[in-house]
Chain A
Amino acid sequence: MRSKDKISYFYDGDVGSVYFGPNHPMKPHRLCMTHHLVLAYGLHSKMEVYRPHKAYPVELAQFHSADYVEFLNRITPDTQNLFPSEMARYNLGEDCPVFDNLFEFCQIYAGGTIDAARRLNNKLCDIAINWAGGLHHAKKCAASGFCYINDLVLGILELLKYHPRVLYIDIDVHHGDGVEEAFYFTDRVMTVSFHKYGDKFFPGTGDMKCKFILFDGTPAPLMNTSRFAYRGFILKDTGERDGRFYSINVPLKDGIDDGSFTRLFKTIISKVVETYLPGAIVLQCGADSLAGDRLGCFNLSIDGHAECVRFVKKFNLPLLVTGGGGYTKENVARCWALETGVLLDTELPNEQDGTDIFGLSSGYYCSSSILGRVLLVRTLICLKRQITNKQSSIRIVWIRTEHSQLKLAVSTGIELLTECREEFFFPEIPDNDYIKYFAPDYSLKLPGGHIENLNSKSYIGTIKMQVMENLRCLQHAPSVQMQEVPPDFYIPDFDEDEQNPDERVNQHTQDKHIQRDDEYYEGDHDNDNHTDDA
């Protein structure tokens, strides 16, 4: 097991000044805030920070069409009116406006992901982080969903130079359609996307069934497909359409919470990794799946989101982590800072809730943390001193809001010291230039989400089963790349088939059976042969 002690983090100071336009939800300024927070927590001392090179048009054209790249390079806000047809063809305008420094912005974030992949390839680091990247919607010849250049595809292409198989995981609330599409025809990249699907939610793709329609030309949901028929189909299809089953989509409904999401995520990803044996993992950490996102509709807390990152990290594979969506700036910064900490094995303190120590009726509340308590008492004493000097009519009021944080107000009739009300807080997030964004809690904890969880247990169970079925099929889909590292861990199907499911076998007999297998067959190759024979 390699230890993940080398982390490369990519940041370019220029992305902060990129402005998509008024009322555009995408605000690259969140990257500044993230970086500020990362530095405020001192995380930079545990990693290496790199400035990415600006990807050359040639590099971008490894995936994108040259004319599209060239057009992006050429277009400016002033000239966009001159090219209405191109603008429409490349889907520029509404969601993907043309702004100043557009191409430079693309170069920077794409360069970051490419550099990150190269560093991983050269084994210069174990984990590479590029929060500026992760723009997963961009298509080969068009922009889409605030994405112009698909840096993920470029990064994966780079990783593919060194790794036979790359696993792409996407926990953005939107479907990672651009990446899925790009690697739709190869089994060297498996894409797994957890996203909201339905209600015409952008981009409208990523339903589980889609894949099967495309797979054999007819709408054939996996549920209705018998296992053997399915397997046979895959075997038949081998060598002609390599990548058809290597896109896993986990469509979810509104308001999924931490528990069900992380359980589902862990089950699926562990199975995927076990099955697919990727050489490297690319993780897109779109923060719009957090509760309270401006565009998202999930109910994840930062902890739940970060738990996914933590889980992926545990595989100890070369890991490329990118950003993605995320349209409530302060939550994005919170989330990515915390996840940077997770990747560095540095857990940032983020639990904080107010404990009612005086009883609800009195209106006094105190933080559960010692630090907060000390601060509170000091503040109170201090205020009392000031107030008794001045006038006696001042009341001290502790206000508890619905987010269970503590606020302090000093009121004198109609006069209200708003200053106090805002500024007295439990210090959790270290001071930085953007500390005010983290009001009122000033902690890494998100304001709670209030979206109803529409994902019933049975629905999630169904999804899980479908994905597992799909994966089981993949085990029997050898390809050129798979031969290099033959799967050696699963119990061959023939064992299961031979056994009578109605016959109960005790553990001892089972063990004996396995031992006997080991004696008679020299490892995995034999198993494979048997599988093929079967």
Chain B
Amino acid sequence: MDEWLRLDDGSLIFKENKGSDSAINGGKSRFRRMFDDVFAVFLSQKPEKKSVRSFPVLSGSGKPIDLFKLFWIVRKLGGYDLVSYKNLWGCVAERCGPDTGAVASLKLVYAKYLREFDHWLKAILKDGNLVEGEVGVIGKLDSLLKELETMFGNLFRSENDCKDELICNVNSQVDYEMFTAESVSDSKHRSCNAEHRKHNRNNGGERSFSKIANDTVFLVSTEGIVEKILRRAPAKSNRQYDDEEKFAQMIGTGEKENNDEEKVSVLNGSDTTVAVGKSVIEDVTASHKRKRGSPCYSEMLNWLKHAAKHSNDPEIGPVLKSLNWKGHTGKDFWFQALAIREVLLKKSHIDTDAGEAKTQKKQRMQPSMYEEEKLNNQPAENLRCSKRIPNLQKHTLCRGCSLCPISRNKVETHQKKEDDIASDLVSVEVSVTEKPKAAYELPRQKAPKVDPGGQPRTAEVPEWTGVISESDAKWLGRRMWPPEVEKTNPLVVLDPVGKGRQSSCDCLLPGSAECNRFHIADQRYKLSRELGPLFTLWRFNKMGEEVSLSWTDEDQEKFKVCIKPSLSQKNNVWSNFKELFPSKTRNMLVSYYFNVFLIRRRTYQNRVTPKDLDSDDDEKEVGRVGGNFGDAAVYVPSSKCLLTCSENKVCTDLQ
């Protein structure tokens, strides 16, 4: 315990070394670009999907949503299922930014775009790993996932200080722990399959534990990496089946003492995780022991990355001076795979790498010492910089330009491809290198509509003319639907006409306010997708409770207070509102009245006075249950249990 606390403090030291924004952003943008690429591949491989996706992704209020950010945040919180289960979409919305619209629309976007992507990633990592033609994609995925992992690790630490976002933290930590546990147990399992049953038995408890984890991508990713390494290792190695030795060999030290040292420190590192996550996962100490032992391998992998980076990155020296530890872990991703493989191939590098790894480890635990250490590392880096320079510069150029045109993306892709291929040298033969290129480029061309960066495509605005002739058009009404120029979107599959609601939903709590809101947003999204510009022309964008999103809570309260007396006036209801709400036009007031105020009143009636429903009597009593969208009534963020009842004062007072 003491040790944990101490380490907790230690991790606080990390936090103090802030100012690494640029590095983090750099990592993010790289990460984002990878995400975009992989997502593009995903989209191109799923052309027959029945669900309709449009780009750029817009929220209910028409604002663009950063898919990557959303994906990242949800992932961080533990994946779609966990977030849904724990009712954390509000949290997600907050993190995605203040102007991203309602919770439901975010959830919708995730469900529409990213959930499947998530599954797809999982599937491809599990099954498609060995398919030759997909090596390029896999390479990308691998690097993406590695990056994910790294970023994730960083984030988890940087978030420790956000006390108010406790749940999220807890979740992320739980996840983090889970994924390390899973990855290690898996790696053990695979490397030792026949010979080391004992290990399996030891890991049994952990695997069952890790099954709870929702964050499959991370699990799978680490698993994938480890698996790859392990698959290749036997060919070169001396067939040592002990995990620790294997890792040690990979790192190239071959020295057990070194290894043990590392292990100890890793133990400490993982304890930090355990300590923070402890409050949530109330596990027995015995399993803690296992956990403590197990994450060290993934941590070792991290160190491996650090080592690889240190020895490879030509830019790392100057950049790192102003950066802390967090920043530089974000960068190591490019060199990780290469390093591992190089180590496996070239014995000559082993010693250097081991030394670096050792150094890294110390830095990790005591980042304040980092700069001193780094100075020592400089010469080694400079020695090895030559072959990476050009590529890196290009990447830097494209950093953060996820919005750049496709052609440029392609160039970039080529470079990246080459990078990946270079890093794949160990496992993939040179003859194969052409293949993944083709495999990757083809789907990109097949999906011209997809813009990975969410760049708005020039919208095809259909010309609205009458049927007979131009001059008559005005006198016969302007045709709005169906559009004159049909959108050639093969993805559009309409719901059956006039059948009402088709299927029951798979929400956790079907029929709850949250579920309700979600489906309304879903419908709204579908409609806006189908109608295109008509959605605005028919004022659908100004309908429904989402109108309230442009109102502050204070204004809404003020409106509620003021509407009552002014309704009794015969004329000029809105006259005094002009003074009260100088920023609102009359139309906004009327729109709010119809779309928010009246709907809420009806909601109130539905809940409190279900026997006396009257949406047409303007002088009915107005109350409110729950939050703005009625979701707060069952929204209990701190509870693990979804439903917690709280006394409804409004209700009991009136009944």
Binding site for B on A (CB under 8 A): 8, 10-11, 13-14, 16-17, 19, 21-23, 25, 27, 29, 32, 35-36, 39-53, 77-78, 80, 97, 100, 111-112, 115-116, 118-119, 122, 124, 294, 327-330, 341, 344, 346-349, 371, 374-375, 378-379, 382-383, 386-387, 389-390, 394, 401-402, 407, 410, 412, 414-425, 427-437, 439-440
Contacts and interface: CB of A to CB of B under 8 A. Distances in A.
B527 A39 contact: yes
Contacts of B531: 39
A317 B314 CA distance: 83
Given A21-B570, A328-B616, 8 more contacts: A13-B537, A49-B481, A80-B571, A122-B476, A329-B615, A417-B643, A436-B599, A436-B603
Contacts of A412: 645
B478 A51 contact: yes
B204 to A, nearest CB: 26
Contacts of A439: 602, 606, 610, 613
A41 B497 contact: yes
Contacts of B491: none
Given A41-B500, A48-B481, A429-B501, A436 B606 contact: yes
B606 A45 contact: no
B524 interface: yes
A431 B477 contact: no
Nearest to A371: B504
Interface stretch (B183-191, B371-379, B445-453, B626-634): B626-634
A330 B615 contact: yes
Nearest to A41: B498
25 contacts: A13-B540, A27-B616, A29-B594, A35-B538, A39-B527, A41-B498, A45-B497, A116-B477, A122-B476, A328-B616, A407-B610, A415-B647, A416-B651, A418-B651, A420-B511, A421-B607, A421-B610, A427-B501, A428-B501, A429-B501, A432-B523, A433-B524, A433-B545, A435-B516, A436-B603
A22 B587 contact: no
Most B Cβ at <10 Å: residue of A8, A45, A427, A436: A436
B616 A440 contact: no
Contacts of B545: 433
Contacts of A122: 468, 476
B576 interface: no
A17 B590 CA distance: 6
B646 interface: yes
A109 to B, nearest CB: 12
Interface of B: 467-468, 474-482, 494-501, 503-504, 508-513, 515-516, 519-520, 522-524, 527, 531, 537-540, 542-546, 566-573, 586-587, 590-591, 593-595, 599, 602-603, 606-608, 610-611, 613, 615-619, 625-626, 630, 633-634, 641-648, 651-652
A401 to B, nearest CB: 7
Contacts of A14: 539
B467 A124 contact: yes
A419 B474 contact: no
A330 B645 CA distance: 31
A15 B366 CA distance: 67
B454 to A, nearest CB: 26
A418 B566 CA distance: 30
A17 B641 CA distance: 43
A416 B567 CA distance: 32
Contacts of A23: 567, 617-619
Contacts of B618: 22-23
Given A23-B567, A115-B477, A379-B511, A433 B626 contact: no
A440 B599 contact: no
B477 A50 contact: yes
A77 B572 contact: yes
Contact of B571 (A41, A97, A407): A97
B565 to A, nearest CB: 11
A187 B188 CA distance: 95
A53 B642 contact: no
Contacts of B630: 419
A119 to B, nearest CB: 5
Given A16-B539, A436-B602, A375 B504 contact: yes
Contacts of A387: 643
Contacts of B633: 417-419
Contact of A382 (B509, B519, B595, B616): B509
Most A Cβ at <10 Å: residue of B479, B509, B531, B568: B509
Given A386-B509, A418-B625, A434 B544 contact: yes
A390 B641 contact: yes
A23 B615 CA distance: 11
Nearest to B610: A440
A215 to B, nearest CB: 38
A430 B523 contact: yes
A53 B603 contact: no
Nearest to A124: B467
Given A41-B500, A49-B481, A16 B543 contact: yes
B578 to A, nearest CB: 12
A42 B492 CA distance: 13
Contacts of B468: 122, 124
Contacts of B591: 17
Contacts of B593: 19
A118 B543 contact: no
B539 A13 contact: yes
A519 B96 CA distance: 87
Contacts of A348: 498, 500
A23 to B, nearest CB: 5
A386 B643 contact: yes
B500 A22 contact: no
Contact of A431 (B523, B540, B634): B523
Contact of B479 (A48, A112, A344, A347): A48
Contact of A118 (B475, B544, B586, B602): B475
A51 B480 contact: yes
Given A22-B573, A45-B494, A386-B509, A422 B619 contact: no
Contacts of A97: 571
Contacts of A35: 538
A329 B475 contact: no
A423 B513 contact: yes
Contacts of A430: 500-501, 523
A378 B543 contact: no
